[in-house]
Amino acid sequence: MTRGPVSAGTQRRNLTALLAAIFFIASGEELWTRFVPNYLEALGGSVLAVSAYGTFKDLLDAVYQFPGGVLTARVGPKSSLLAFNGLAIAGYIAFALATRWWMLLIALPLVMAWQSFSLPATFSVVADSLEKGERSVAFALQSIVRRIPIIIAPTLGGLLIGSFGLLLGIRSALAIGIALGVAAAIVQIVSYRFQQPKLLSIAQSVAGAAALDPALKQLLLADCFVRFGQGIGEVFIVLYATQVVGVSAATFGLLVGLAMLTSIAVYVPVARAADAGRREPWITLTYGFFALFPLALGLSATPGMLTAAFICMGLREIGEPPRKALLVDLARVDRKSVDVGAYYFVRGLIVFPASIVGGVLWRVSPHLTFFVAAGVALIGTLIFALTLGRRPRAAAA
């Protein structure tokens, strides 16, 4: 079946519905997700349990991407997005009812459904709704909608923990997240108006999944190093801030909000510049901040230094919308969800052991964890700068 004509109004409506769903789900998730390491410890888990959680989370993030892209190509974006939302809500309920740390690991495959399964579908919606010269801005708007809740929700989550204690506070946050997940599902059911797309069979999706554009493979290689570096320390950020530097959960939430405000401030102007010119220099810059942030964090010994590090954390996102737009540009027409899924599948499989590496390094020294993370991310930055970053404008266009 061929793709039917889609009006500009319908495309914009779908994009608006997607942004609304992302906002609701992110608002609920960010109330509690950054405190999961503390939740694990409160339920009897050790530092190794935290590492296992981070590793399993990264593994699921990898494994889910390609099936998510295949399913989207098979049934269309509306059905796939609603299914992923429903699975995530079931996972939130299981998290709220958990009484032992290992129960969180069992429920995690459900919790990760929206975040990971849905990513190829969201990329397809953006690609189908906008022309090539508008995609960086579209991804910037998506990132802003995703991060506005991060400014507020972690602080509110920290206040819930401060008011009700760790267990009851996180469970209260999960209850709010469940309600917002249901609201997101309602918005999607009512608002999505997709024409029947050209559907691919599972066999068609799998057969050709490895035939990615050579430039997309170069982007993937650099991204793998950068994200491995990120994964080494990411799950330990909250522990470093609260246990090594000694800030409160509420203060940590404020620092995360500061990082997100920094990201939001640069998203749109950078995206506009990237759409009007070249995307590659901004991607090089964003990768550089992925290396600088863990270095700054590992050197932080006071709340003031920690604040500066979290500003660097926000600047990691300066070139993310151009990177996503470049990924979509390089993906094949009518196979965008499959190519995006394959890209993130490979990246995730390579990156998921990073949390275990971080756990081993953490037991040696919390500072060493972040110094090694910075070094690995720097390698990815150099790979990109010396390959795609040097492409002439004509080749990049």
Model pLDDT for residues 192-241, shown as the tens digit of each residue: 776 555 555 555 555 555 677 888 899 999 999 999 999 999 889 989 99
Residue written as tokens 């801030």? Answer: 241
DSSP E strand boundaries for the chain: none
Q: What is the pLDDT of residues 45-62, one digit of tens each?
A: 888 888 788 878 878 877
- Return the residue matching tokens 């990109």: 384
Residue 297 has pLDDT above 90, yes or no: yes
The pLDDT value recorded for residue 4 is 45
Does residue 300 carry a pLDDT above 70?
Answer: yes
- Taking all residues of the chain, what is their mean pLDDT, rounded to a whole number? 85
Instruction: Give 390's pLDDT tier (boundaries 50, 70, 90).
Output: confident
DSSP character string of 229-291:
HHHHHGGGHHHIIIIII---HHHHHHHHHHHHHHHHHHHHHHHHHHHHS-SHHHHHHHHHHHH
Domain 8-191+211-396 superfamily per CATH:
MFS general substrate transporter like domains (1.20.1250.20)
- For 184, the token pair is 């997101």
Percent of the chain with pLDDT over 90: 44
Residue with the bigger pLDDT between 374 and 68: it is 374
Distance from first CA to last CA of the chain, Å, rounded? 31
In this predicted structure, which of 48-52, 122-126, 175-179, 354-358 has the lowest mean pLDDT?
122-126
Res 313 pLDDT > 60:
yes
Q: Is 242 exposed, middle or buried (0-12, 13-18, 19+ CB in 10 A)?
A: middle
- What is the mean pLDDT of the segment spanning 25-48? 89
The rounded distance, in Å, linking the Cα atoms of 34 and 356 is: 18
Range among 92-106, 137-151, 152-166 rated most confident: 92-106
As given in the structure block, the two tokens for residue 199 are: 């559907």
Tokens of 108: 């995690």
Tokens at 242, concatenated: 């609260």
Amino acid in the structure at residue 258:
L
Q: Which of 359, 109, 386, 345 is nearest to 227 (CA)?
A: 345
| Closest C-alpha to 111, from 155, 64, 51 | 64
Lowest mean pLDDT among 122-126, 226-230, 258-262: 122-126
Quote the pTM value. Answer: 0.76
Regarding predicted confidence, which is higher, 70 or 314?
314
